[in-house]
Amino acid sequence: MTTLLFVGDIVGEAGLAYLEERLPRLRAEHQPDFVIANAENMEITRHPGSMGHCGLSPQGVARLFALGVDAITGGNHSWDGPYFQTVYDDPRVIRPLNYSTAAPGQGALVLEKDGLRLGVINVASRTALRWADEPLAAFDAQVAAWGTSVDRVLVDFHGESVSEKLTFAYAVDGRAAAVLGTHTHVQTNDMRVLPQGTAYVSDVGMTGPGEGMQGYAPELFVETMRARLPGSSPFAFASGPVECGAVVVRCEGSRAVAIERIPG
């Protein structure tokens, strides 16, 4: 039996601090062999010329690795802010595979523990990441390149559309132990194992403050919608109790046999 713990989009200091407090207990309770976390919303970066205002920081990445997280995934915010050149120096931090070869970072990695090799692939859809390439073709090529050198494959599929995530999951059913959706920050209640043994959820949900919009303060977005012009309120994290967006996947051989959400 192999157990995988996956944490959805960690939002801000609140999400990170929550995980620092909670992960040791989750580890004791679920005994995961591997822990993978999506951390594309770790920081508000606001870097001039950046693709967006979110992203990862070297300090936050170091805190996750100090916690025992084995790999960090991303999405449309993987190249936000001033830090990405540094962040991808560590091969344990990956970004969407199906993107420009000119973009820093790798889209897949292999984790090895006690003789077990877990391939981790991060892909994004165009609904989340403009100019992304076809995610299924990228998956097919990566899995073919790995061949028999990996024992299990976990996919973080970063996208907006449930039908796109489900279509992808059925297309790779039996070739990935898990296809776990990220990006919307809203956990869906459709955890299941597909017929050939791929554990699936449309969105794992975020690990971040629950009172605003996807972990962010709503004022700026409301102003912008109302005026249809850029608002003047700060782009800030939300407040309130932290939601826990995380799932545990259990595998026998290369097939998943169960997926369950971690209660908040």
Q: List residues binding Fe ion (CB under 5 A).
A: 9, 40-41, 75-76, 183
Matching residue, tokens 């992304």 = 132
Least distance from Fe ion to the Cβ atom of residue 16, Å: 14
Dihedral Cα 57, 55, 182, 255, nearest 10 deg: -40
Shortest spacing between CB 54 and Fe ion, in angstroms: 7
Residue 12 or 75: the one with the smaller Cβ distance to Fe ion is 75
Tokens encoding 171: 């297309």
Residue 53 appears among annotated catalytic residues? no
- Distance of closest approach, residue 173 Cβ to Fe ion, in angstroms: 24
Residue positions counted in the chain: 264
In the bound state with Fe ion, the residue whose beta carbon lies nearer, of 41 and 142, is 41
Q: Which is nearer to Fe ion, 33 or 43 (CB)?
A: 43
Which is catalytic among the residues 30, 53, 77, 158?
A: 77
Assess contact for 123 and 97: CB atoms under 8 A.
Answer: yes
Would you say 75 or 135 has its CB closer to Fe ion? 75
**DSSP per position, 131-151:** T---HHHHHHHHHHHHGGG-S
> CB 126 → Fe ion: shortest distance, Å?
13
Q: Which of 175, 137, 135 is nearest to 157 (CA)?
A: 135
Catalytic residues, which ones? 77
